Amino acid sequence: MSALTLRGVTARYGSRAVARDVDVEVPAGSWLAIIGPNGAGKSTLLKAIVGVVDHDGEVLLSGRPTAALGARERARAIAYSPQTPQLPDRLTVTDYVLLGRTPHLAPLARERRSDMEIVEQVLGRLDLSSLAGRTLHTLSGGERQRTVLARVLAQQAGLLLLDEPTTGLDIGHAQALLELVDRLRTEEGATVVSTLHDLTLSAQYADHLLLLDDGEVVASGTPEQVLTRPVIERHYAAAVEVLTTDNGNLVVTPTRKPRP
Amino acid sequence: MPATSHGTAKPAVAPTRLRPAVLVVAVLGLVAVVSVSTLLGAANLGWTRVVAEVWAQITGGRSPLSATEAAIVWEIRLPRVILAGLVGAALAMAGAAFQGVFRNPLADPFLLGAAAGAGMAATIVVVAAPSVTGWIIGPLPLAAFAGAIGGVTLTWLLGRSAGGGTAVLLLAGVAVASFLTAIQTFVQQLNTDTIKQVYSWMLGGLNTTGWREVLVTLPYITLAGAVLCLCARLLDVLAVGDDEAASLGINPGRVRIVVLLAASLATAAAVAVSGLIGFVGIVVPHAVRLLAGASYRVVVPLSLLGGAMFLIVADHIARTAFAPAEVPIGVITAFTGAPFFLLVMRMNRGQIR
């Protein structure tokens, strides 16, 4: 069964529709990347799925409409990290990751020992144990992104919505982070929906791409089906070449005419 | 590491939490401050004789103090010390709560117009119906509460309409506070017969205090303190931003309203008995953050205790430094608070826009 199904979803701020009439099925354990030029509505669509932006149409989690779920119940099923997460400066890594346990706690209750054990496991898994007591403003960019991912994982939701998880990371750190997400997906059966700027990385990590342009789905399918030169040139207004490396990796690279 | 008989090893990572030892130290500190401030005062009774009086009260023995001197201790000093503690606790925890709700390190009941709103509304009640001002549940506390909420709401709306940044909110607060204080002064000047009554607390003074004022404020500050302590973890969740907080299953709008109501109630109760005392809400929560960590689960309860200590000490200086004359307590808190405000501003540079 599909972990996530969107049926005619239109995400809107008030009366302004930002992403329109999106249909997609995301099988359990797969990775969907939402791609598209700036302002296409990628982030807004994610926010509609997580329920912080209003939407028309139906969002189904394993066949159940999210509209029927309470806020905390939904938060136990969907974890979300925004494009620019706010990390309160002087909070410790442990305190921040512990916030991921919020949907598992009654509103005014304090955390249990089992919550701390989950936090500890997640920190160990993301190689953050040595930073547990550090305050957030002392972390490097890569450490910050991993800490945010730890907060998402502590939520123990089956569906991870990651809005540009590699923002601000160099190519090595970006790769490491995506490998980590991919491992969680294969080892724990998590389903991933992410927006990604980098088309090459999205081709290498996602099973399915959804290309949005100005709020409309203009292409949907495997990376090979979506990332073709005419499609990219039309919707990104970019000059590109799409190559396949010897080991079968798809690479999208910008091209430039030689100067006369 | 010693072997334990059970296999229940504690997780190695620990959240920032109010540790019992820290709580005990803070409570003992508060008891010490209350004791010292009650033993020493403008009237030179001699602290050994005051100790003997307290002992005599407990054991039923003979006191070295005359009836008048005993009354100074029990009817003037002690209620004043306790009220200073209550007001300090209220202003400090309200400051911490406003900082959490607005995600603004410089928020404070004074700077957001909450205190000015409470002061204006209380003044209007004093002027209109001076006879009802001593009621625990009555027009004065209710008006002060409504005024505090009105002030902070106005500041928030104006700040948001002008962009909603940290600095903009504070500028809106300064404008609102000035405007409401101007109304208050205007109302006072029109009613010179009650001006003395209003003036005594407008300057920020605890010098007219008796047990009545303690009784008027205690229930409100207790209620507000309980609500804020219960909501402390939710304030940590709000710190990550509204979208993320909502994605974690809480309703940021609802949390914000509950916390704002509680913080306004604390502010109103404090202002209704003590007038406008600034900077407590900045100094104390930030001192707590530096000493004990930034999680609101530590900041709220320790601000409550620390605020009580801070204001008892400030009031002690106010009443003894130039005895028998009194320095307005607002002057003492501003002496320490204004430089501290600038320090906090520098510490948060880059974030204040």
CA distance A74 to chain B (A): 7
Whether chain B has a CB inside 8 Å of the CB on A224: the answer is no
Determine which of B2-11, B96-105, B188-197 has the lowest per-residue pLDDT on average: B2-11
Residue A72 maps to a domain: yes
Q: Is residue B14 less than 8 Å (CB to CB) from chain A?
A: yes
What would the mean pLDDT of A72-94 be, rounded to a whole number?
92
Q: How many domains does chain A have?
A: 1
The first and second tokens of residue B210, run together, are 């008796």
In a domain, B55, yes or no: no
| Closest Cβ–Cβ partner in A47, A94, A107 for B15 | A94
The predicted structure's pLDDT at residue B5: 40
Which of A71, A91, A103 is the closest to B239 by Cβ? A91
Q: Do residues B66 and B242 touch, judged by C-beta distance below 8 A? A: no
CA distance A243 to chain B (A): 38
**Distance between A259 CA and the closest CA of chain B, angstroms:** 42
**Mean per-residue pLDDT for A15-40?**
92
Q: Above 60 in pLDDT, residue B2?
A: no
Output the CA angle B53-B56-B62, nearest 5 degrees: 95
Q: pLDDT tens-digit profile of B186-226?
A: 888 887 776 666 665 555 556 666 788 888 889 999 999 99
Q: How far is A14 from chain B (nearest CA, A)?
A: 16
Q: Which residue of chain A comes nearest to B241, CA vs CA?
A: A86
Q: Does B237 touch chain A (CB under 8 A)?
A: yes
**What tokens appear for A243 in the block?**
């190559």
Interface list for A 111-170 with B (CB within 8 A): 111, 113, 116-117, 119-120, 123, 129, 132-133, 135, 155
Average pLDDT over chain B, rounded to whole? 84
Which residues of chain A have a CB within 8 Å of the CB of B248?
75, 99-100, 102-103, 155
Query: How does pLDDT run across A104-129, given as a tens digit for each residue?
Result: 998 888 888 999 999 999 999 888 99
Is B244–A82 a contact, with Cβ atoms under 8 angstroms apart? yes
Beta-carbon contacts below 8 Å between A and B: 114
Q: From chain A, pick out residues whose CB is under 8 angstroms from the CB of B237.
A: 99, 102
The percent of residues in chain A predicted with pLDDT above 70, rounded, is 100
Q: Is residue A6 helix, strand or coil?
A: strand
* Distant-in-sequence, close-in-space partners of B87: CB < 8 Å, separation ≥ 6: B206, B217, B270, B273, B274, B277, B311
Q: Supply the mean pLDDT for chain A.
A: 92
pLDDT score recorded for residue B48: 81
Give the tens place of pLDDT for each residue, A90-108: 899 999 999 999 999 988 8
Residue B38 has pLDDT above 90, yes or no: no
Residues of B in contact with A132 (CB under 8 A): 12-13
B293 to chain A: which residues are within 8 Å by CB? 90, 92, 95
3-state DSSP call for residue B59?
A: helix
- Verify whether the Cβ–Cβ distance A88 to B247 is below 8 Å: no
Facing A120 at nearest CB: one of B13, B103, B233: B13
**DSSP symbols for B171-186:** HHHHHHHHHHHHHHHH
Closest residue in chain A to residue B251, using alpha carbons only: A71
Which sign, positive or negative, has the C-alpha torsion A126, A127, A128, A129?
A: positive
Percent of chain B having pLDDT more than 90? 35
* Residue in the block written with tokens 């354990």: A29
Domain that holds residue B314: 20-40+65-347
Pairwise pLDDT comparison (B298 vs B15), residue with the higher score: B298
Assigned domain for A260 exists: no
- As a whole number of Å, the CA-based R_g of chain B is 21
Report the CATH number that the domain containing residue A54 is assigned in CATH: 3.40.50.300
Judge whether B200 lies within some domain: yes
Quote the pLDDT of residue B203. Answer: 53
- Domain membership flag for residue A76: yes
Closest-CA residue of B relative to A132 is B13
Model confidence pLDDT, tens digit, residues A131-189: 999 999 999 988 999 999 999 999 999 999 999 999 888 888 899 899 999 998 998 88
> Is residue A19 assigned to a domain?
yes
Question: In this predicted model, what pLDDT tens digit does every residue of B78-98 receive, in sequence order?
Answer: 899 999 999 999 999 999 999
Lowest average pLDDT, out of A45-59, A140-154, A230-244, B102-116, goes to B102-116
Interface contact flag, A82 B243, Cβ < 8 Å: yes
Burial call A131-169: b when 16+ CB within 10 Å, e when fewer: bbeebbeebeebbbbbbbbbbbbbbbbbbbbbbbbbeeb
Query: For residue B6, is pLDDT > 70?
Result: no
Non-local (6+) Cβ contacts of B298 within 8 A are B16, B17, B18, B22, B288, B292
| Alpha-helix residue ranges (DSSP H) falling in chain B | 20-39, 47-59, 67-71, 78-101, 114-128, 139-161, 166-190, 195-202, 211-230, 232-238, 242-247, 252-274, 280-292, 296-320, 329-347
Residues of chain A in contact with residue B13, where contact means CB-CB under 8 angstroms, are 94, 116, 119-120, 123, 129, 132-133
Query: Count of CB atoms within 10 A of residue B222's CB?
Result: 15
Select from B11, B103, B233 the Cβ nearest to the Cβ of A117.
B11
Contact B234 A107 (CB under 8 A): yes
- Judge whether residue B119 has pLDDT over 90: no
Q: Which residues are CB-neighbours of B200 under 8 A, at least 6 positions away?
A: B207, B208, B275
Number of domains present in the structure of chain B: 1
Q: What is the CATH number of the domain that holds B282?
A: 1.10.3470.10
What is the value of pTM for the model shown? 0.87
Q: Is B21 touching A (CB cutoff 8 A)?
A: no
Name the pairing type of β-strands A159-163 and A78-81: parallel
Q: Would B88 be classed as within a structural domain?
A: yes
Residue B124 sits at φ, ψ, to 5 deg, of -60, -40
- Stretch B300-322: mean pLDDT, rounded? 93
| Chain centre distance of CA B313 | 14
Domain span holding position A54: 2-254
CB nearest A95 (choices: B103, B242, B295): B295
On whether any CB of chain A is under 8 Å from the CB of B13, the answer is yes
Residue A259 falls inside a structural domain:
no
- In percent, the amount of chain B with pLDDT more than 70 equals 88
Judged by CB atoms closer than 8 Å, whether chains meet at A94 and B14 is answered as yes
Residue B1, domain member (yes or no): no
Check if the beta carbon of residue B252 is closer than 8 Å to that of residue B286. no
Judged by CB atoms closer than 8 Å, whether chains meet at B250 and A129 is answered as no
The yes-or-no verdict on residue B173 having pLDDT over 70 is yes
The residue of chain A nearest to residue B248, with distances taken between CA atoms, is: A75
How far off is chain A from B27, nearest CA to CA, in Å? 22
Note whether residue B337 is domain-resident.
yes
Give the residue from chain A lying closest to B295, CA to CA. A91
Q: Look at residue B130 and tell me if it is in a domain.
A: yes
Q: Cβ–Cβ of B236/A71 closer than 8 Å?
A: no
Please answer yes or no on whether B13 and A102 come within 8 Å at the CB atom: no
Q: Which has more confidence, B200 or B44?
A: B44
DSSP single-letter state for residue B193: G
CB–CB contact B241 A111 (8 Å): no
Establish if B156 belongs to a structural domain: yes
| pLDDT score recorded for residue B131 | 64
Burial class of B291 by CB neighbour count within 10 A (0 to 12, 13 to 18, 19+):
exposed
